[in-house]
């Protein structure tokens, strides 16, 4: 599933083609995504796109007629193509611009979403209004994370993956960050010291920033807007490497499941 870096890469790819452009019309070929495509989207003809934003793993298209909320789901991808480009299988939504370009959404598994909100969704929409801070902002720091963790018995890995605590630290990047910080993923969040949070938070920020710089992580479905894969996979030190040798100590990496997600760690390096 695309995580925060992949969504940020998608945002940066489409924004220059969408911002300050006028929507000609919207084509919906299949309304049956994770939630039915909002019918209001087909009334956006004539609207101007003011800004493309990202909140957590959601893209928000700020238009003169309201807001469009886009989620890539597990297999969704966005492409900017000439409007006359024939659609292929699983091309479910087209946002056609008067410039002659088209933002096209392809989603084989149909777990993505295209929704409409009259108000800014970060303030009003139930999917976004209760989310935690963005990890690459000053609002996410060691003091905040330490205070939020007090009394928590859940594992540190599931804690930092909780979108009510901080958004966008998905499974891949939680594995990698905890390894680099030397923290065992099963350790209770409430028992992690402030000193260790002071080490962990900058590592989370740096890991996510590096992934964005590398174009995200391509494991199965994700590609960038131009069709190129994300190259952060080459930087992975533990994720997907269960049973292989640790790159730091040459010990054997162990793979378990936490919160129903694959978790790989080094029993020697992480305490």
pLDDT tens-place string over residues 60-92: 999 999 999 999 999 999 999 999 999 999 999
Overall average pLDDT of the 145-161 stretch = 98
> Is 84 noted as a catalytic residue in this protein?
no
66-71 vs 113-117, strand pairing mode? antiparallel
Q: Does 223 have pLDDT greater than 60?
A: no
Contact 231, 215 (CB under 8 A): yes
Mean residue pLDDT of the chain comes to 92
Overall average pLDDT of the 14-23 stretch = 97
> Is 261 noted as a catalytic residue in this protein?
yes
Identify the residue with better confidence: 89 or 124. 89
Q: Does 19 have pLDDT greater than 70?
A: yes
pLDDT at 1: 64
Overall average pLDDT of the 143-150 stretch = 98
Q: Which of 3, 6, 8, 176 is catalytic?
A: 3
Q: Which of 2, 121, 135, 185 is catalytic?
A: 2
What are the chain's domains? Answer: 4-124 (3.20.190.10), 142-265 (1.10.8.50)
Please report, for residues 193, 204, 207, 232, the alpha-carbon distance to residue 200 in angstroms, rounded to integers and kept in the order given.
11, 6, 10, 19
> Is 3 noted as a catalytic residue in this protein?
yes
In a 10 Å sphere around its CB, with 0-12 CB exposed, 13-18 middle and 19+ buried, how is residue 195 labelled? exposed
Number of C-beta neighbours around residue 131 at 10 A: 18
Q: Which of 12, 210, 241, 261 is catalytic?
A: 261
pLDDT digits (tens, 9 = 90+) for 226-261: 444 444 566 789 999 999 999 999 999 999 999 889
Check whether 90 is labelled as a binding-site residue: yes
Check whether 152 is labelled as a binding-site residue: yes
Q: Which of 11, 55, 57, 157 is catalytic?
A: 57
> Is 119 noted as a catalytic residue in this protein?
no
**CA nearest to 77, candidates 129, 176, 6, 5:** 6
pTM of the model: 0.88
Share of the chain above pLDDT 70, in %: 93
Contact 128, 122 (CB under 8 A): yes
Report how far Cα 178 is from the mean position of its chain's Cα atoms: 18
pLDDT digits (tens, 9 = 90+) for 164-175: 999 999 999 999
Check whether 164 is labelled as a binding-site residue: no
């Amino acid at each position: 599933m695309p995580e925060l870096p992949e969504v940020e890469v998608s945002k940066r790819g489409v924004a220059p083609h969408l911002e300050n452009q006028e929507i000609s019309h919207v084509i919906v070929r299949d309304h049956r995504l994770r939630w039915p495509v909002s019918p209001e989207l087909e009334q956006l003809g004539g609207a101007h796109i003011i800004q493309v934003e990202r909140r957590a793993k959601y893209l928000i298209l700020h238009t003169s007629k309201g807001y469009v909320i886009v989620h890539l789901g597990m297999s969704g991808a966005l492409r900017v193509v000439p409007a006359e480009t024939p659609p292929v299988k699983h091309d479910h939504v087209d946002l056609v611009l008067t410039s002659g370009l088209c933002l096209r959404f392809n989603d084989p598994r149909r777990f993505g979403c295209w929704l409409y909100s009259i108000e800014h969704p970060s303030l009003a929409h139930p999917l976004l209004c209760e989310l935690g801070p963005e990890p690459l902002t000053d609002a996410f720091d060691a003091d905040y994370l330490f205070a939020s963790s007090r009394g928590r018995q859940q594992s540190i890995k599931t804690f930092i993956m909780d979108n009510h605590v901080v958004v966008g630290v998905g499974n891949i990047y939680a594995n990698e960050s905890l390894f680099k910080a030397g923290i065992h993923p099963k350790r209770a969040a409430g028992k992690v010291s402030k000193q260790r949070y002071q080490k962990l938070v900058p590592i989370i920020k740096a890991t996510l920033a590096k992934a964005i710089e590398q174009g995200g992580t391509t494991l199965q479905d994700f590609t960038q807007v131009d069709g190129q894969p994300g190259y952060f996979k080459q930087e992975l030190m533990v994720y997907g490497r269960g049973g292989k040798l640790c790159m730091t100590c040459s010990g054997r990496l162990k793979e378990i499941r936490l919160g129903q997600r694959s978790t790989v760690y080094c029993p020697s390096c992480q305490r």
